[in-house]
Structure formats: structure tokens, C-alpha cells
Structure 1
């Protein structure tokens, strides 16, 4: 049985390394141009080289997003950019524009092509069309049910793979094809600049009554009329595998290192547990408890089981739930003194109850009872961003272990 590939977001080089260390089988990222996350840190050419080597050294694949819908002025710069990076051993290019597919095939003939979810791939006739264009993996539209996915899988060539989003933000528009951001503030969602106006609060103004604002409500609880809950399929690993999906994808190139580590860890445990005993798989609620320690909205299963209803919307708030703070990352550890050198990410105070977790390791809790500055002098708190501190650990840790605390 071929194991589901766990595909994680890498918004910058640090997040790529964390995704790799915490259990991703593959990562996806964008260069400084031509992907649909202009607000992410993204990768310079040297960072692509470093990131791909880091991932490949640990057996992890690298997929690069070229999934904008290109305008005329994009064509020449994109072609030149591809020529600059063509010798980097990127495993696949994620594309949605037929013109870009053609250019990649001309510049890098051996490139593996994956069709972005932006292309709205919803049926096997379209799947077979893209197969004839050289595409070998389809990132499915989010608007498909399990039954539709199975039908597609049974009607495409055996060497064409299916990839599906299983976790993260849901777009209110069809597979992300949206003009609202462009219309509202001239930021083009189809060129990587979405401002998420679907999650703003709206009121109605009548032409003859300027200044009189009326709330736009779907029910009496609030006015977030296009505010979907987040997708989460952690409980449904068997169904994902049974549908013929090859790769399960986590959304979130603009999310934090803490988010990437937490979500990848939870899905890694669920997938590994399933393949250890497919017939006797039992979902562990503790995975969800861990998952929810990263920032999140309420969860939905999207379209997988049926079309979403009003139960899949959140009418009360567009804010995230953030019960835990990411307070630091281990940079080194001395097993003799049990002292970890930690890079601070949010304020920590002597006496805090903290949790520490690492790749493939369950978390442990302890009181922050020894806190020193970089020179080994005792301090009461670490309030400065990226301050280097020394902390005594109750259990062994290693580089890139993460510290968090309940807010």
C-alpha cells in the first residue's frame, strides 16, 4: 500500500526546515515572484538552493509554485526567471496557467508538472485533458466530494496522481478564483495579493440615506457573511486513502513556524498510525488537542462529505482562536548541564508553566524555574524579540524543539 504523502507549506526557509524536521514528506514554496502568496516570506534563488538541498538530504521532495494567472508583462520575466533556476533539482512545479505550462516545458523539458487547485479541476474529462498536456498530478478543486474524487481516480491513467487540501483556510470563491480583493483595494488574488475581504464585516447603505448603516446579516448572531470555518480532515485519514488520493496538503504558507510544526506533527502521527494498522485504525482525540494549540478557526470538513451548509460558516467573528503562545525555539542543548540555548519568540517570565515539543516527540510540561541571559546571568523575564536565553530543561531536547505556553 503506497503511503499518503504529507505535503506541508513553506513560506520561507525557516518554515521549510521546520516542516521537514517535523515530518513532512514534501514541501511547497514560492519564489520571490509568480506564486499566489506574495505576502509570504518566499525564497531568493540562494534560499531555494539551500532549501532544496536541506530537504533532499532528508528524503523530502520540493514543489515550487508558479500558479499565478499571468498577464502579458509577466511572460518575459517569468521565462528569464525559469532559466536562472532550471538547474536547481526542484521536484515539481505547481501551475494553473496553460501559457506558463508551455513555457516551463520549453525551458525545463524534464520538469514534473502539478496542476494547481486554482485551475478548478472537477471532472475526469478535464483531468485527462491535462494529462495530455504533460501534467502528472492534479491538485483537486476543494469543491469535490469523496465520491466524485473516487470517480475521477477510476477514470484517469494509473500514473496520474491526485493531491487534495486537507487542512487550512477555505476560500469563499470557487477554488480561489476571486476578484473581490482586486475590486475593493486593487490587490489581485489571482496574482498572489489577496487581502481576504471575504472575512470583513459589512454593512448596507441606502443611496438616499448616506451615513445610515444597516448590518448585513445571515442570522441574528453576526455579519460575517462569507467567513468559512477552516478545513480539517485529521479524523478521516482512512477515507482520504480509500478515495485514491496520493498527497494530502496543508494550507498555510503565510502561517507561523509554530503553526507548521504543530499541524504537520498532528497529521504525521495520524498518517503513521493508520499505515501501522490500516484495518484497526483508531482515531486518537489527543491529536486534535495538539492541533488546536496552533492558531485556528472552528473546523469543517468542507465539501468532502456533502455541500457545506450554514453550519460551515462562522457568523460571530473572523478572528483566530489562539490559546497558546509560541515563546521560543531551541538552538542548542547541553545534556550534561541540561541547559538549552533558546531563541525567544514571545515574552516569557520566570515561573511560567511551559510546554516543550519536538519532531516525533510528545510534549512535556515544566515550570520555567531557571532563566538566564546569553552570558549565564539570572533574569526575571525575556521580553525582547529573538533574545537569546538559557533555560534548564526537565527532559532532553534538541535543536528546533519548540516552547509554548497557554495564554
Structure 2
């Protein structure tokens, strides 16, 4: 299984490759894009000033560096949907990219865009983004038939469902799964949370609530129960979504969502790529994530007992209570 890491600069690429990343993914929004869509619609799932390479020249340098080290680079065009009016502009952008350098694949979530790219540029390799919502076999078949050579499973997809999809779709395509950092309250392919007013409302549940029944009465036991539920929700956001303030553990490991305990199952079912999330994160956290995953994969090599491995991965960060809480686990039992 290969380590797939995010980057936003050539310098990050050098560091992450030296740490052991074998695949890189990145975004890019050209300067002229605002004149195409205004500032209302990003070219990918990260804003122009956050989580993107600065320009096409930087992408070309990253691709050159990566290919010199036998590392692949994937470019994100991973909005869930684009308006039809933007398709031709995106095609123009992609042709501009491939005239200068050759990313190894485009990551696409919009079926219409994938269909057009397959027709207009059949030589380009396509990956179906987690934003495509590949939650069952029929969706997997749909994207495979559209031309996707890799299916990226959404975060939190049950391991049994994942294995069932892989078994039925087979080895005609590759499979990628989330393994470290950045949770999401919803299944992001179907998220309709309002992201105005200082971020997504699902990230900021700081309002004070009080429950009343239909007669306007408020019972103490109901409010206590609800308050505890709300505290659990806030703790999940802090640990799994906010990554404990983007913190690094005393051992130097990244905090936040994790799927290390599922590595034996992911390997057995045929997942080929392990995704580290967080294009907008610091290089310190990205590098720490690659190191932790590389160390975990080294433990996996030659080991025959998945239960021993699960215990090993649970202890990897030396904070097992976080694993026990399940707040930071992508693949809860």
C-alpha cells in the first residue's frame, strides 16, 4: 500500500517525498479563474489561498521532482458538481496543464465532468473522488464505467461494505481509502451545511440549548441527557474534526482522525493507496503523518496476526484513551 500525501508547494513536495510518500495530490486555481466564475465557485474543494499550489509553474516543478523519484502526482478537480457553463473552461485549463506537465491523474467528483474528460482527453487517467459518494457497488460500477481507474472511498465507509464493493468490482480499478486526519460531520458528498458566517455550522455547535415538550414544559432529565449528548458531539468535533487544534503529540505524531487499526483489513481487501488528508495543514503535520503511516506500514510487513497489529496501532501514539473513545476513528466497529 502506498502513502498518498497532500501538498501546496514544491518545498513541501521535497520534504514529503523524503519522508516516504509515494503519491502526492494537490490543487491549483489559476489567476484568471475569478474572471471565469467570480469568487463564487472554486475550481476544487479548497479556496484559492488555502490548500492550493500558487501557479502552474509550481505544479510543473512538483511533477518533475516527483517523477524523478518515481512518485505520482494527482491534481484535484473535486467539487461535487460544476455548472455546465464551466465545463469548457475546465477543459481549457486541463489542456493548459498537460501542455506544460503531465500529472498522473485527475481527481474528479462530478460525473458530468468525468464523462466529458473521458471523451475529450481519453489519454488522461481519472480517479473518482470521495465527493462522488461511492457508498455501494452500483455507484462504484457507475464511476468505473465512466472511465475512473481508481475509486476513492468516502471517509467512514464501513470496512465490510468496502470489501464487498472491491470483491464485486474486481481488480480492473485501484482503490484508495482515508487513513489519517480531518474528519467530517456528514458524508461530505451529501453535505448541505451552511459554510457562511465564519465556517461550517456543523463545526461550531456553541449555542446554548434548552428542550421543551409540546406543552412548553422543560424537564430536567431531558435537558441533562441532551446536554451530555451535545458535550459528546463537541468533543468529537475537537478530536476528530478540528484535529485537537491541529496539534502534534509529545511523540511528534499528528492528532485527529485515524484509520491505522484498519490497515490489516485494508491490505487484505486490496486497497492500494492510503490517503493522508489536509492540504491546508502545516508541513509539520503533513510530514508527521507520513512518518507515522510509514512506521505503521513497516509494522504491517510480515505480520500474520491482525489482532496483535490492531493493538500495536492502537498504542502507536501512546494515547490509547483517544482510540477507546472512538472519536478519532474512521472505521469504528
TM over 0.5: yes
1:199 matches 2:196: no
Instruction: Report whether the alignment pairs 1:37 with 2:52.
Output: no
- CA separation in 2, counterparts of 1:291 and 1:266? 14
Structure with more strand by fraction: 1
Displacement of 1:63 after TM fit?
Answer: 0.8
State the match for 1:76 in structure 2: 88
Matched-pair contact (CA < 8 Å) for 1:266–1:287 = no
| Bigger shift: residues 55-64 or 9-18 | 9-18
Q: Please, which runs of 5 or more residues in structure 1 have no aligned partner? A: 188-194, 207-213, 307-407
The superposition leaves residues 251-310 of structure 1 with CA deviations (integer Å, 9 ceiling, x where unpaired) of: 1101000001111011012113322x1326764569833899xxxx985223x243xxxx
Whether 1:102 and 2:115 are equivalent positions in the alignment is: yes
Q: Which residue number in structure 2 is paired with residue 7 of structure 1?
A: 4
Greater relative CO, 1 or 2 (CA 8 Å, sep 6+): 2
Which protein is bigger by CA-based radius of gyration?
A: 1
Instruction: Specify which structure has the higher proportion of helix.
Output: 2
Give the alignment of 1:61-140 within 5 angstroms: 61-68=72-79, 69-87=81-99, 88-140=101-153
5+ residue gaps in structure 2? 30-41, 212-222, 241-255
How many residues are paired up? 281
Calculate the aligned-residue CA RMSD, in Å. 3.0
Q: Does 1:246 align with 2:272?
A: yes
Question: What's the TM-score, normalizing by structure 1?
Answer: 0.62
TM-aligned CA distance change 1:220 to 1:301, over 3 Å: closer
Provide the rounded CA distance (Å) in 2 between the counterparts of 1:217 and 1:77: 49
**Residue in 1 aligned with 2:260?**
234
Return the match for 1:270 from 296, 299, 310.
296
| Conserved 8 A contact 2:118-2:146 | no
User: CA offsets, 1:206-234, max 9 Å, x none?
Assistant: 9xxxxxxx998344747738727242122
**1:6–1:26 CA contact under 8 A, matched in 2:** yes
Q: Secondary structure at the match of 1:125?
A: helix
Could you report, residue by residue, the CA deviation over 1:165-211 in whole angstroms, capped at 9, with x for unpaired residues? 111111111234323234x44x9xxxxxxx333121223599xxxxx
Q: CA deviation at 1:12?
A: 3.0
Which runs of at least 4 in structure 1 moved beyond 6 Å after TM superposition? none
